[in-house]
Amino acid sequence: MKLSVEDLQDVGRGAAFLGTGGGGDPYIGRMLATHAIREYGMPEIIDVEALDDDAAVYTIAMLGAPTVLAEKAACGDDVDLALSRMEKYTGRKADAIIPIEIGGVNSMLPIMAAARTGLPLVDADGMGRAFPEIQMVSFNIYGVSCTPLVMTDEHLNSLVVETGHAKRAEDLERVASIEMGCSVILSSYPMTGRQVKETAVRQTMTLALEIGRAIRRGRRADNPVGELSRYLATTPYYSHCRVLFDGKVVDLRRETTQGFARGHCTLQALDGGAGEMEVIFQNEHLIAREDGRVRAMVPDLICMVDSDTAEPVPVEALKYGQRLKVMGVSAPPILRTPEALEIIGPQAFGLNETFVPVEEL
Q: Which residues of this protein are in contact with its own copies, per CB under 8 A?
A: 85, 89, 155-165, 168, 171-172, 175-176, 178-180
Residue with smaller CB distance to its own copies, 60 or 341: 60
- Sort 164 into a burial class: Cβ within 10 Å, 0-12 / 13-18 / 19+: exposed
The nearest distance, CB 351 to its own copies, in angstroms, is 25
Provide the minimum distance between the beta carbon of 79 and its own copies in the complex, in angstroms, as a whole number. 16
With 0-12 CB in 10 A as exposed, 13-18 as middle and 19+ as buried, what is 103?
A: buried
**Residue 347 buriedness (CB in 10 A; 0-12 / 13-18 / 19+):** middle
Residue closer to its own copies by CB (options 165, 216) is 165
Cβ at position 167, least distance to its own copies in Å: 11
157 or 256: CB nearest its own copies: 157
Instruction: Supply the angle between the helices 26-40 and 7-18 in degrees, to the nearest 10.
Output: 150
CB-nearer residue toward its own copies: 88 or 230 = 88
- 105 or 151: CB nearest its own copies: 151
Which amino acid is present at 265?
Answer: C
Check residue 131 and report its DSSP letter: -
In this structure, are residues 199 and 193 in contact, taking their beta carbons and an 8 Å threshold?
no
Q: Is 212 exposed, middle or buried (0-12, 13-18, 19+ CB in 10 A)?
A: buried
Q: Which residues, 6 or more positions from 245, have their beta carbon under 8 angstroms from its beta carbon?
A: 267, 269, 275, 277, 288, 290, 295, 325, 326
Geometric angle at alpha carbon 11, from 191 and 63, rounded to 5°: 50
The residue (of 47 and 162) whose beta carbon lies closer to its own copies is 162
Least separation, in Å, of the C-beta of 155 and its own copies? 7
Residue closer to its own copies by CB (options 167, 264) is 167
Q: Shortest Cβ distance from residue 173 to its own copies (Å)?
A: 9
User: 3-class secondary structure for 164-179?
Assistant: CCHHHHHHHHHHHHHH
Point out which residues pair with 267 in neighbouring strands.
249, 277
Beta strand 56-64 with 149-152: parallel, antiparallel or unpaired? unpaired
Nearer to its own copies, 168 or 194 (CB): 168
Smallest gap, in angstroms, from Cβ of residue 326 to its own copies?
A: 36
Nearer to its own copies, 120 or 259 (CB): 259
Which DSSP string corresponds to 187-227? E---EEHHHHHHH-EETHHHHHHHHHHHHHHHHHTT-HHHH
Rounded Cα gap, residues 325 and 269, in angstroms = 10
Q: How far is the CB of 88 from its own copies (least distance, A)?
A: 8
Query: CB of residue 32 vs its own copies: minimum separation in angstroms?
Result: 23
> Minimal distance in Å, beta carbon 109 to its own copies?
21
Contact 281, 350 (CB under 8 A): no
